[in-house]
Amino acid sequence: MAKSKVSDLTAVTSANVNDLMYIVHTNGSYKITVGDFLSNMTNPTLQGTVKLGGTPDTMAAPGVVSLTSPISYLSIPGTAGTITIPNGANGQVKVLITTATAGGSYKLTVAGSANVNFNRIGDTATLAYTSNNWFVIGGTANVSY
| pLDDT value of residue 111 | 85
| pLDDT value of residue 80 | 96
**Is the predicted pLDDT of residue 90 greater than 60, yes or no?**
yes
**Band (4; pLDDT cuts 50, 70, 90):** low
What lies within 8 Å, CB to CB, of 17 at 6+ separation is: 33, 34, 35, 38
Distances (CA, A) of 106 to 4, 23, 34, 46, 86: 59, 51, 42, 34, 16
Task: Name all domains of the chain by residue range, CATH numbers in brackets.
Answer: 57-144 (2.60.120)
pLDDT in tens, 37-72: 888 888 888 888 878 888 999 999 999 999 999 999
Sign of CA dihedral 104, 68, 126, 114: positive
Average pLDDT over residues 106-113: 90
Predicted TM-score (pTM) of the model is: 0.73
| pLDDT value of residue 69 | 94
Q: Which residue has the higher pLDDT, 39 or 118?
A: 118
**Band (143; pLDDT cuts 50, 70, 90):** very high
